[in-house]
Structure 1
Amino acid sequence: MRIVRQMKRELLGPDFDVDPYPAYHRLRAEAPVHRVRIRDGLSCWWVSRYDDARAALADPRLSRDPRVAVAAWRAADRGRRLEDEAALDVHLLTREPPEHTRLRALISGAFSTRRVDALRPRVQEIADTLVDAFAARGTADVIGEFAYPLAAAVIGEILGVPAGERGLFRQWTSNAVPGDPAPAPGDYLRDLLRAKRRAPGDDLISALARSDADETELLSMIFLLVIAGHEGSVALLGNALVALLTHPDQRELVRADPALVDAAIEEVLRYDGPMEVAAWRFATEDVTIGGTVVPAGEPVVISLAAAHRDPARYPDPDAFRVTRDDAPHLGFGWGVHYCTGARLARLEGGIGLAALLRLPDLALAVPVAELPRQPSFVVRGLHALPVTFTP
């Protein structure tokens, strides 16, 4: 990730972390499908226009399976990852049908509309309890004291991870707290999976333990659910609050009409969504994207953040409007890889945002440019979000 992050700095400039959108505007206009050199002769293709991005997300010739990448890329990828990470890489983000179809079927029931809707009272209870814990203080870190505990509690309950052990989740993400040791995820999840086999409960890991998938697949899937099940939700909630606090007119619209909370979440997913880019894809053959030929085996990066500010798709794309009615977005993907947990992320985001907006005189404690951001290539989120309000 450090290598690609350096690439982004060279491509987009040193200020892209705070506001990458001016650079994305230049890319769309001047080099919408841009070949970027990384190191040692390796390169990737950066896709930044909406129509190209949507087509690429659904193109079966662009595979998420890294085994189809050029040999030099596969070798570099193996070299940059820890052994434990590599062992947890057999999941929905790295497989195509029919493997992807089989793996998705293992978990789809847990994220059905009925199951997610049934979680609403519990998510509301968790959110209210977290806000109550700091409401009398007048200050809070929304990420550390609200967004992370909320998301970790929800996905932890779905999976069946004991409450006292959900703090491990943050240590396995790009938003880890430096210096705080945590067991390797593979070791921890393997022990938990085997414990569920011995004493199953009414949770997703217990259900997975009863399946006929091999242990490597199950551990990879659980790890993916842990990371994707809370990291994106945390970033979405943080970005949503910043967007509303820096657009007071839109915040007042939502406060005046709570029914607009869900619309605000959808606009945030477009305007400043938690996923800056989609997961890597690799051309299985020569593929033409936006008039440019991507050679077989080479990696493709689909820039969701750039696509979501494309003026060819969105009128006045840099404006944040919760009443926008022309904002179908790609924030949860497109095609067969559409995010399984999209309903849950929307539910958490809407309930969490509404709970925070009830705090009187809510405001950022520091300027936006000073908010610490995640050291992540894929996730566009905050490491901390200090706010003030009237106790």
Structure 2
Amino acid sequence: MAEVGKPLLDIDVEEDPFNTGQAPIQSMPEDTAFQDTSSAIAREAGSQANMNKLRNMQDKNHDTKAKNSGLIVPAVRVMLKQHNIDIKDVTGSGNGGRVRKEDVQMYLDSRNAAPNPVSSKPAAQVDASVEDKVVPLTPIENHMFKVMTGALSIPHFGYSHSVDLTSLTSLRRDFNKELDVSNGMHRYGVSKLTALPFILKALSRAFLQHPRLNAHLETETAPQNPQLIVKASHNFGVAMDTPGGLLVPVVKDVQNRSILSIAAELKRLSTLAKEGRLTPSDISGATFTVSNIGSIGGYVVNPVILPPTVGIVALGKSEEVPVFTKDNKKGDTSITKRERAVISWSADHRVLDGASVARCAQMVSSVLENIEPISIGLR
């Protein structure tokens, strides 16, 4: 007979799986033990006081089960302690809600499967206040939209070639050194020469032999009977990157200008473009277009023709490269350092064929590589 108030032996055993009411080996279910104890008290006492004591024990036992979900065995207690688990968080599946090892393990599995708010990164939050904005085109962008839309109807023919700028660079450096020594400015207002004025002049020289590249294709008056208008003046639009966007001011009458005059006009137009003070006359009348994309970067590009012109060139970035040079007299081959740049052409294939563009391009290369004849206007 169990002694009242003495805790029952706590052994880690399985419950009766078939609810036979029989205690498993080496185990006494807590309900059976409590019933035997209660019967003994009733038989020995038989008094009303002892019956009241029995009721109090039953109430106390019921409250303990409700609070602790049943008595726990040592193995379960160890698991709870090892994993820092509060027994109140575990749902017991044993008799009377008793917590078993399987219950603790199931709780651990579910907790480990849940996202860890400490280690996991929070999901990106979408700011509901951020909305799409409708941005109207600026006048410059609106003009570019119209021009480029018209360019879609032009079948572009592309051609690229490399130009040796070694002699040109040497000539420019000599001139710029003279300006540095004199601490002055040329009478045209030019303080430094770049390669661009020379390239514009070389294009003009080549167009004297290949005039069809300096022309407008007129298709609006009679779409079924288009006309090519070859322009007498070489008015070269020069694409410039400005704070307000892409602008194409025009250097007019290049065929009649010296290198220094071209450089001075480029400086004037560039200043006005950056300040947003170009006049309609400054940006109209182009017969050909030049894009100096090499000043930003890049080598070979595919420039887009601006109608009604029939061609455009893009100047790539110049760089020093090793070049094989052969001495025809001695038959020896040596490696020398040369400065080269790529010029990319786009031509309207409706009126210009590839051979004509290639011949004009090679003439431009020849003028730039033998620059002395057109450098008279420097001084």
Report the TM-score when normalising by structure 2: 0.26
Structure (1 or 2) with the larger CA radius of gyration:
2
More helix by share: 1
More strand by share: 2
